Amino acid sequence: MRIDILTLFPEMFAGLLSCSIMGRARERGLVDIRLHDIRDYTHDKHHVVDDYPYGGGAGMVLKPEPIFEAVELVGKELGLSAVPTILLTPQGRLFNQEIARELAGYQHLILICGHYEGVDERVAEHLASDEISIGDYVLSGGEVAAMAVVDCVVRLLPGVLGSEVSLDEDSHIEGLLEYPQYTRPPMYRGLAAPSILLSGDHAGIARWRRQQSLLRTAKRRPDLIEKVVLSQEDKKLLSEAFEIKS
Ligand code: ABV
């Protein structure tokens, strides 16, 4: 997969690109990530990327020209007339694991990181094919959102994660939160790890983990538990867990 990222701050991506999973995926040629400084696509002497908002108001708006030209040059380089092009914006559809899987199915992606008070709306309307937000909070720019999207998508690409990691056991794939994990020592500062996990009873451990997943999801994310189809056994585990606590 190739991902082209348009940004005013390409240096922000250095950490993400060098981290273990991403670094290895890139070395192995599983993903090719290209950074483009939007400023390099201006033609004026001072490389101006923003301007005052029409109609007045605070802040600056990113101009459309360098963004359109950068996207068009990437398309030309790839020999493609249409590349899935995502604008990161708080107005976009809310990113989740399902959208990550959808994006991981593409050969190419272009991500546009906006800044300041916004991006000229013609970019969203006539250049981007999609608008994505990573949550209902306001970042100072699209870079952190783009990094979240790239990280989620790249780990779904074939060969990126070792075969020891099961993708579909992860939180949110199945619609439930992950069960709690423990490691040695068995007792730390008087805090014991749950004895079932040290028992060697594999069926008992699986049952306990399923019950913990159900309980955490019901307590912390009632929105998720409503969506997931619970088996009769799940319902038993959940009511048993609530009985133990009360
Ligand atoms: C993009 N906040 S996505 C650009 N939640 C600026 C802010 C912002 C995004 C998000």
The verdict on 58 and 145 lying in the same domain is yes
| Burial classification of residue 4, based on how many CB atoms lie within 10 Å of its CB (0-12 exposed, 13-18 middle, 19 or more buried) | buried
- Residue 108 lies inside a defined structural domain of this protein: yes
Give the CATH number, domain containing residue 238. Answer: 1.10.1270.20
Query: What's the mean pLDDT in 157-170?
Result: 74
Residue 185 lies in a domain: yes
Range of the domain at 59: 2-154
Q: How far is the CA of 233 from the centre of ligand 1 (A)?
A: 41
Q: What type of residue is 56?
A: G
Same domain, 40 and 93: yes
Res. 173 pLDDT band, cuts 50 70 90: low
Neighbours of 33 (CB within 10 A): 19
Residue 163 lies in a domain: no
pTM attached to this predicted model: 0.94
Query: Can you give the pLDDT at residue 86?
Result: 98
Whether residue 62 is found in the same domain as residue 176: no
**Contact call for residues 41 and 66 (beta carbons, < 8 A):** yes
Q: Does residue 181 sit in the same domain as residue 137?
A: no
What's the rounded Cα separation, in Å, for the pair 50 and 63? 5
Q: Is the pLDDT of residue 172 over 80?
A: no
pLDDT surpassing 70 at residue 164: no
Average confidence score pLDDT of the chain: 95
For the Cβ of 138 lying below 6 angstroms from any atom of ligand 1, the answer is: yes
Domain edge (last residue) among 91, 119, 154: 154
Can you say whether residue 147 is alpha, beta or left, with left for phi > 0 and alpha for psi between -120 and 50 degrees? alpha
Cα Rg of the chain, angstroms: 23
How many domains would you assign to the chain? 2
Residues 150, 185 within the same domain: no
**What's the confidence (pLDDT) of residue 244?**
85
Asked about 117 being catalytic, the answer comes back as: yes
User: Does the beta carbon of 133 lie inside 6 Å of ligand 1?
Assistant: yes
Tell me if 7 is assigned to some domain.
yes
Predicted pLDDT at 116: 62
The confidence band for 100, taking pLDDT boundaries of 50, 70 and 90, is very high
Strand partners, 51: 61
Residue 227 · residue 175 · CB < 8 Å:
yes
